[in-house]
Amino acid sequence: MEKTKTVLRGELALLTVVIINSFGVVLMLYSGSGISAISSVPYAFSEVLPKVTLGTWTYIFQGLLILSLMLLRKRFVPAYLLSFAVGFAFGIMIDVNEMWIDILPYTMPMRVLYFCISYVVLCIGIALSNRCKMPIIPTDLFPRELCGITGKAYSKIKISFDVICLAVTAFLTFAFLHHIMGLGIGTVLAAFTMGKVIGVIGNAMDQHFEFVSVFSH
């Protein structure tokens, strides 16, 4: 007998993703272990050109990802514009979280805890976004759509995307600031493992939950 799955609204899941992922990005950076790979490129630009906030650079970067997907598909995809709107909200939430995050204690044990929490939160958020049947944050959308375009496994696409983001970040900060910024052991660890962990969490979600939304077919 097949187990009955719990039905969840995709709209609520997407709202949860925007809230927890923006928090996870800022918390990982605050931990001192390095920023998450998905926000490393906007972070590099925010350090090179600090008059523009990290949140603003985030949705500029996400807009470029949306444009790249349309070029790869060789057609205009209206749903991608909705994804950009979600990314805009995500960028704003990053700036909001940056405004209060420094009230948290900054001891070494707490910083380790912050990294662990941010890692788990981001993995859950990305796995959730891939299943919510809603337009999702472009940095989550890009590897998922590229997986469909190329036919490659999601974990491989995700890891490759993260590593390329880190390489671009390292180049930008070293070239313009003469030292690498934003990248730490936590960033590298997350980049090389997060794709697989997201896959495991996603498979567990598939066994227990089913998502429905206004975009469900």
| Contact in structure between 138 and 44 (CB atoms under 8 Å) | no
What letter would DSSP give residue 4?
P
- Tens of pLDDT along the chain (217 residues) come to 556 889 999 999 999 999 999 999 999 989 998 888 888 899 999 999 999 998 899 989 999 999 999 999 888 888 888 888 888 899 899 999 999 999 999 999 999 999 999 999 999 998 998 899 888 888 888 988 998 888 888 888 888 898 899 899 999 999 999 998 888 888 888 888 888 899 899 999 999 999 998 877 6
Q: What is the sign of the dihedral through the CA atoms of 145, 149, 154 and 159?
A: negative
Six token digits for residue 112: 């380790």
- Tell which residue, 177, 167, 194, has the closest CA to residue 41: 167
The reported pLDDT for the residue numbered 2 is 55
pTM equals 0.83
The reported pLDDT for the residue numbered 64 is 93
The reported pLDDT for the residue numbered 35 is 83
d(CA 70, CA 25): 26
Residue 178, classified by CB atoms within 10 Å of its CB into exposed (0-12), middle (13-18) or buried (19+), is: exposed
- The Cα-based distances of 167 to 174, 175, 217 in angstroms read 11, 12, 39
